[in-house]
Structure formats: structure tokens, C-alpha cells
Amino acid sequence: MQGLAGKRVLVTAGGAGIGRAIAAAFLSERARVWICDIDPAALAETRRRHPELGTSRTDVADEDDVAAMFAAIEEAFGGLDVLVNNAGIAGPTGGIEMLEPAAWRRCVAVNLDGAFLCARRAVPLLKAAGGGAIINISSTAGLMGYPLRTPYAAAKWAVIGLTRSLAIELGPYGIRVNAICPGSVEGARMARVIRAEATARGVSEEEVRHGYVRTTSLRSFIPPEHIAAMALFLCSDLGASVSGQAIAVDGNTEGLSG
């Protein structure tokens, strides 16, 4: 990709899954990359694989944690060119009448408030750099309804609203803002989602997994590296005219399991 060498990049929840794939992709383009994660074991494993990474244990829903992370990034990198708001949690699974308000609030806090708190700190640095890019990881759940996963879907819809609003607000400063909407991505996180949904619906995990595959036009789950490739494009010179978009990388999801 053009124009990524030397860029200063923050990837939240970069310790595993999609975040780790995005961090590795930016490193392959000779960018300088910082990741955070709430899981110290995941951070340690990713740092073992990529010792050049900057890391911090951060809960993106905690304002003090986010402030401390950005202070460390400024000291290490002297600024920022790219923010990838990848941190998110699946949240509770079940009918709306069964959901605990605390679980709802935590899901929204990580998936939506975390993106806000990081963008709030990143934007002054991007402006000082003369422009840059923000990638918010939403979901196909942010494009359509998702039965039994209402807090997650609501937060991911809101992430798209945040994306489109910030694209308008920040465009005059040369900052482009886009959302990537992954579908069913291979990995441990999706396995946990399938397990929780199978329990909630009283069916087998294989039936749930087959439902996700069946409702995807390409009849397959998505490798995390495909999400990373889209993030690289959107932050590169080749994506310089793309902003305010919610781009699905999902094999064309026709509907969501439920």
C-alpha cells in the first residue's frame, strides 16, 4: 500500500483476532504501531510475535485508562496518524426481557463509548499531523437487525452514526473516517458467540454455525486478514478519497442468525 511507511498507528484491542491481524498488516507496511488490550496474556503473546510493537493494558471504556495510553503514545511516537477503533465485546445473548441492564451498559460502553473516548484523544493529534485516518470497526450487525444480540447491534449501529458524523466534522482537516463492517470472522471470539447463541436458542453449536454460513452469499466465514487488508487500503494513499463510508467485508451477509 502507498503512503503507510512511518505512519504512527494505534489499534485498540490489538492483542488477538481482528486487532492482531490489523496491527501485523500495518507493521508489514513499515508503520509504527501501538496496540492496547484489556487481556495482559494476549498483549504479551502479540508482543512476543512482534517485539517492535508499543503496548498498553487499557480498558477503552475507562476515561483514565485512555488518557494514560495516549500520554504514552505521545511520548513514544510524538503524535498519531491513524486510529483503528477495533475494541469491542459481544455482550449478552438472549431475549430483551432477559438482559441485565449492567450487561447492556457494559456492551455499549466498550463498543461505542470506547470509540468516542479514543477519537476524542486522537483527533487533536491527527489535526496536528496535518490529517490522517480513523477506522471504526462496526459489524454487519450495524447494518441490519440482530435477534438475541440487541445491545451489540444497537452499539454497532451507533458506531456507523459516529463514523458518518465525524467524517463530516473532520473532513476539512484532512481526516477521513470510515467504518468496516465485518461479517462472521473466523476465530475464538466467533466461536464464543456461536456457543452463547446455541445455549440461548437451545440448539447445537453446529446448527448455529451452519445458519451463519447459509446466510452468507459466499458461504464462508471471513479470515481476519481480509479485514486488515481493507483497513490498510482505507488508510493508504489509494484510499485518500474514501470517507464517511460503512464498508462490509462479509461475503455478502443476506441475514443474521436468530
Active site residues: 152
DSSP string, 31-94: -EEEEEES-HHHHHHHHHH-TT-EEEE--TT-HHHHHHHHHHHHHHHSS-SEEEE--------S
Please give the C-alpha separations between residue 252 and each of 121, 178, 215, 220, in angstroms, as whole numbers: 34, 19, 9, 10
Buried-state track 222-250, b at ≥16 Cβ within 10 A, e below 16: bebebbbbbbbebbbeebeebbbbbbbbb
- Alpha helices by DSSP H, listed for the chain, are 17-28, 40-49, 63-77, 101-108, 114-128, 150-170, 188-201, 205-214, 224-235
DSSP three-state, residue 172: helix
Write down how long the chain is: 258
DSSP three-state, residue 15: coil
Residue that has been written with the C-alpha cell 510524538 in this structure: 78
